[in-house]
């Protein structure tokens, strides 16, 4: 998509340095989680792939789409970040009340 924007214009809209946009475009670094919501909003679609099919992948995708790290999500839920990591790896499943809290905090259905 060519909107005729300079890297500096795009960087200003996304709230990042021009060099950051360059590294993303050259595939040297992926955007940090905190930048994902602004990127999706700017583009008008999610460039990071189709919706995942299982709970663990949907959880991780929803967390990233919300621009949250595991630590930030854990803090909002009042749990340890390792618990979120275990959920995302499929090593543990959250109890129903935590699933509901996750859906509220992330603003999406995870089932």
pLDDT over threshold 60, residue 1? no
Coil, strand or helix: which one is 45?
coil
Q: What is the pLDDT at residue 92?
A: 96
How far lies 32's CA from each of 73, 88, 96, 110, in Å? 15, 18, 30, 22
On whether the CB atoms of residues 57 and 69 are closer than 8 A, the answer is: no
Judge if 26 and 40 occupy the same domain.
Answer: no
> Are 63 and 104 in the same domain?
yes
18 and 6 assigned to the same domain: yes
pTM here?
Answer: 0.71
Q: Domain range holding 10?
A: 1-30
Q: Which domain CATH number covers 94?
A: 1.10.260.40
* DSSP code of residue 17: -
Mean confidence (pLDDT) of the chain = 89
Same domain, 107 and 70: yes
């Amino acid at each position: 998509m060519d909107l005729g924007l300079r890297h500096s214009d795009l960087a200003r809209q996304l709230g990042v340095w021009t060099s950051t946009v360059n590294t993303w475009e050259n595939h040297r670094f992926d955007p940090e989680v905190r930048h994902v919501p602004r990127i999706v909003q700017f583009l008008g679609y999610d460039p990071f792939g189709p919706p995942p099919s299982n709970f663990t992948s949907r959880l991780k995708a929803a967390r990233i789409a919300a621009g949250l790290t595991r630590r930030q999500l854990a803090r909002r839920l009042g749990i340890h970040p390792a618990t979120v990591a275990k959920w995302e790896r499929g090593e543990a499943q959250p109890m129903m009340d935590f699933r509901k809290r996750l859906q509220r905090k992330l603003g999406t259905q995870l089932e």
